[in-house]
Amino acid sequence: MPENDFDVVVVGAGPAGSCAAIEAARSGLRTLLLERGPFPGSKNMYGGVVYPRILDDLIPEWWNEAPLQRWVTRRSTMVLTDTQALTVDFRNEAWAAPPYNGATAHRPEFDRWLADHAVAAGATLLCDTTVTGLLRGEARRSGRVVTGVRTDRPDGDVTASVVIACDGVNSFIAKEAGLYGTPNPKDFTLGVKETLALPRQVIDQRFGVRDLEGVDIEIIGCTGGINGGGFVYTNLESIAVGVVLKLTSLAAQTTRPEEIIARMKRHAAIAPLVEGGELVEYSAHLIPEAGLRMMPEMTGNGLLIAGDAAALCLAAGIWLEGVNFAMGSGRYAGQTAVEAIAAGDVSQRGLRGYASRLSDTFVLRDHRKLRRAPELVLGDRVQHLYPSMITGMAERMFRVDNPSPKPGLRRIFREERKRAGVSRRALLRDSRDAFRSFG
């Protein structure tokens, strides 16, 4: 048999793909990183915050070189009704100094920077090249095995010992390999985002930050009748305003996503933040939302799946973390390929180290811990009843109704629960679920 063109072919130069390629190339493997866009990150959008802790040992002091916008030092969670807002606001100055925590970043810049590290490590990066299928052969012991990929270029087949699919949400490679069941629209949300340009000082003033500090606001109750959530993030000279909408719920009605964003932007709590911003970008992307429930099998013979392609994005209400899960799983996939190639066994068995790496680290542990969260957060009660109950309680607590005396908290709670139409049983069940999910 002629030698393979490469040891490892990585499909997709997003955070998962570049990290897989860095690991493989640094171990001396002949690594090819294929990207369909004209450059890494050109096709990628997201809300806006990355948590690069997982890069600490891969790119030491990444914070000195990564193209980041602002360090997130304020995290707010906002509960909205049409006319009210209750915000829990946390500020931590330590997050604006090494080793930092999260930062807003533009994906075209961030993804390119990561891919440059893969190239520096010796990987070959080829853009403008779409993978259109898997090459397969027969191995004596393991049966059918992936032997490479077919691309859309003339004479475009490339062979490799291991293919790592990092082709993002709704991975066609994972599907072609038969690792996914039929996709269920219930498991996806649609993320829609507007980027609004504003002068730097205006952002500093409106969001109460200085220098390179930034804000991450997660919002619930801002998506009208559609189940979902919203966000506002600060970049250096722009803000990202968007919503994440449950696909089935969006499809069941006629309001368009841009109208939902427009309505959110008109809310009294949001309008002063976004006023005067010039729309410079509008984008939309699917998010694999269902976590553990929708994850495919992640290894095949000669094949590993990482990042959104494996539905590893953590979308659990106040957490929307996909990039770090992509980088983590990409790294583990790269390490597993190195190990399997060295051992001369790239069968599913030979690649089983991947499953244990995912299982033993934050990648699957967080998902397991938060497995009930997506359903809970996107459930009808959290979406449509609790916001009104919570803001109603706040209103009663702060309202001065003289000459009536202040009502007790327990009474407010009972009355507001009833007014919002929440049964005691449902509330108990949800509290238990919330405690289990987040506790």
Partner 1 sequence: MIAACIKSIDDRSTHGLSPADEAAIEMALRHGEATGHTVIAVTVGGARADRGLRVALASGVKTAIRVDAPNDTESAAVAAALAPVVAHSATVWCGDYSADRGTGSVPAFLAAQLRRQQALGLISAEFVDPLRVTRRLDGGRREVLRITGPAVLSVEGSIARLRRASLRPALAAQSAEVLPYGTTVVPSGKTSPPAVRPYRPRARVLPAPSGATALDRLRVLTDSSAAPEPGETIEAGPAEAAARIIEVLRGWGYLELAE
Ligand X SMILES: Cc1cc2nc3c(=O)[nH]c(=O)nc-3n(C[C@H](O)[C@H](O)[C@H](O)COP(=O)(O)OP(=O)(O)OC[C@H]3O[C@@H](n4cnc5c(N)ncnc54)[C@H](O)[C@@H]3O)c2cc1C
| Binding region for partner 1 (CB under 8 A) | 32, 38-39, 42, 106, 108-109, 124-126, 129, 151, 153-158
Regarding 25 and contact with ligand X (CB under 6 A), the answer is no
Residues in the chain, total? 439
Neighbours of 314 (CB within 10 A): 21
Residue 125, contacted partner among ligand X, partner 1, none, CB below 5-8 A by kind: partner 1
CB of 118 to partner 1, least distance (A): 12
Helix, strand, coil shares, percent, the chain, to 5: 40, 25, 35
- Interface residue with ligand X among 75, 112, 193, 372 (CB under 6 A) is 193
Residue 374, contacted partner among partner 1, ligand X, none, CB below 5-8 A by kind: none
Report the candidate in 357, 335, 328 with the shortest Cα–Cα distance to residue 31: 335
CB of 41 to partner 1, least distance (A): 10
Residue 29, contacted partner among ligand X, partner 1, none, CB below 5-8 A by kind: none
Regarding 52 and contact with ligand X (CB under 6 A), the answer is no
CB of 82 to ligand X, least distance (A): 24
Amino acid at 95: W
Closer by beta carbon to ligand X, 114 or else 203: 114
Sequence-distant (6+) residues with CB within 8 A of 277 are 196, 197, 198, 238, 239, 241
User: How is residue 325 written in tokens?
Assistant: 């899960």
Closer by beta carbon to partner 1, 28 or else 421: 28
CB of 429 to ligand X, least distance (A): 29
Regarding 229 and contact with ligand X (CB under 6 A), the answer is no
Residue 64 and residue 50: Cα distance in Å, rounded?
15
Sequence-distant (6+) residues with CB within 8 A of 102 are 49, 50, 51, 71, 72, 95, 216
To the nearest 10 degrees (0 to 180), the angle between helices 409-420 and 386-398 is: 140
Regarding 242 and contact with ligand X (CB under 6 A), the answer is yes
- Interface residue with ligand X among 9, 131, 209, 217 (CB under 6 A) is 131
CB of 49 to ligand X, least distance (A): 4
CA-based end-to-end distance of the chain: 54
Closer by beta carbon to partner 1, 106 or else 367: 106
Instruction: From 320-328, 344-352, 379-387, 431-439, give the range in contact with ligand X by CB under 6 A.
Output: 320-328
Residue 47, contacted partner among partner 1, ligand X, none, CB below 5-8 A by kind: ligand X
User: How is residue 434 written in tokens?
Assistant: 């919330």
The residue sitting closest to ligand X, measured at its beta carbon, is 322
61 backbone φψ class: left, alpha, beta (φ>0; ψ -120 to 50): left
CB of 38 to partner 1, least distance (A): 5
Give the pairing type, strands 228-234 and 238-246.
antiparallel
- How remote is the C-alpha of 341 from its chain's centroid? 30
Neighbours of 293 (CB within 10 A): 15
> Residue 403, preceding bond cis, omega within 30 degrees?
yes
Residue 323 and residue 315: Cα distance in Å, rounded?
11
What DSSP character marks residue 155? T
Closer by beta carbon to ligand X, 296 or else 392: 296
CB of 111 to partner 1, least distance (A): 12
Give the pairing type, strands 157-165 and 303-305.
parallel
Q: How many Cα atoms sit within 13 Å of 351 on the Cβ side?
A: 23
351-410 binders of ligand X (CB under 6 A): none
Residue 214, contacted partner among ligand X, partner 1, none, CB below 5-8 A by kind: none
Regarding 146 and contact with ligand X (CB under 6 A), the answer is no
In this structure, is the dihedral angle defined by the CA atoms of residues 151, 33, 47 and 244, taken in order, positive or negative? positive
Between 286 and 305, how does the x/- string for binding to ligand X read (CB under 6 A)?
-x------------------
Closer by beta carbon to partner 1, 107 or else 246: 107
Beta bridge partners of 367: none
CB of 160 to ligand X, least distance (A): 14
Regarding 16 and contact with ligand X (CB under 6 A), the answer is yes
155-184 binders of ligand X (CB under 6 A): 166-168
Residue 219 contacts residue 232 (beta carbons within 8 Å): yes
Residue 101, contacted partner among partner 1, ligand X, none, CB below 5-8 A by kind: none
Positions in the binding site for ligand X (CB under 6 A): 11-17, 34-37, 43-44, 46-50, 130-131, 166-168, 191, 193, 242, 244, 285, 287, 307-309, 313, 320-324, 326
